[in-house]
Chain A
Amino acid sequence: MGWLDVLSWISILAGLFFILVGGIGLIRLPDVYTRLHAAGMTDTMGAGLVLIGLSFQAGLTLITVRLLMIWAFLLFTSPIATHALARAALHGKVEPIQIDLGGGDP
């Protein structure tokens, strides 16, 4: 096992860790808006670190270019999906749980 393998596995395992924590967050957090924050972890760091780990396995080949492109497209599309979900929830009159800071302003 070379040092590239080691780097690759560290990266993949770290990615899996973030995906797992995202899943735990999805269960632990109280409402749809806070759960979106947890879901956001899986498609930024989670997917990103797994893809980086896989590209260490592939080396300097076209496959690495494609893996990085997958991540790039993910970074462009996932915030739009998150945004659309949050908007849909707001439109459906799902009240976000909020702390009270004592101010009157919404």
Chain B
Amino acid sequence: MARILGLWVTLFAVWLLLSGHYTPLLISFGMGSCALTVYIAVRMDVADQEGVPFAWAGRFLLFLPWLLKEILVANIKVAKIILSPSLPISPIMVVFRSTQKTDLGRALYANSITLTPGTISTGVDGDRVEVHALTWRDLGGWEEDEMGRRASKVEGAS
């Protein structure tokens, strides 16, 4: 119940930020459409821990700055590769083991891999994550290990 209420409050906060029209009529429309969205989410059975992971929100916000830093570093690395005349690429497909326990955690891990240029997750099957890397040298530092550890941390102990 708290999750459903929380979802509505979050949706309505987003609505308020996006709308910019604050007359009683329009605000009541906004509240109504948020309620309808929550109703549909409940009917679709997606308003559970996986679909609305409030428990992860705090830890995710701690994960985000590190991910943004990684994205910046990886972008500069890939930009250098593209701009160097010899085009020093050595593409390779590798398989990582994900240590995450939940599907949502794996999705977070795989998406983080894809978000950093230079590595793309091309398939997730159980705890196997297939990754296409632009240069195999990049994998030497195994930043994906660090990423996996941090993604597991977002999952929490539960």
Q: Which positions in A face B, CB cutoff 8 Å?
A: 17-18, 21, 24-25, 28-31, 33-34, 36-38, 40-41, 44-45, 62, 65-66, 69, 75-76, 78-80, 82-83, 86-87, 90, 96-99, 101, 106
Q: Which positions in B face A, CB cutoff 8 Å?
A: 14, 17-18, 20, 71-72, 75, 78-79, 82-83, 87, 89-93, 110-112, 114-123, 132, 134, 136
**A residues in contact with B111, CB < 8 Å:** 76, 79-80, 83
B72 and A96 form a contact (CB under 8 A): no
B91 and A33 form a contact (CB under 8 A): yes
**Cα–Cα distance between A44 and B20 once the two chains are bound (Å):** 27
B122 and A86 form a contact (CB under 8 A): yes
Name the residue in B83, B111, B118 with the highest tally of chain A Cβ atoms < 10 Å from its Cβ. B111
Given contacts A34-B134, A97-B91, A98-B92, contact A75 B82 (CB under 8 A): no
A75 and B120 form a contact (CB under 8 A): no
A99 and B136 form a contact (CB under 8 A): yes
**Cα–Cα distance between A67 and B44 once the two chains are bound (Å):** 30
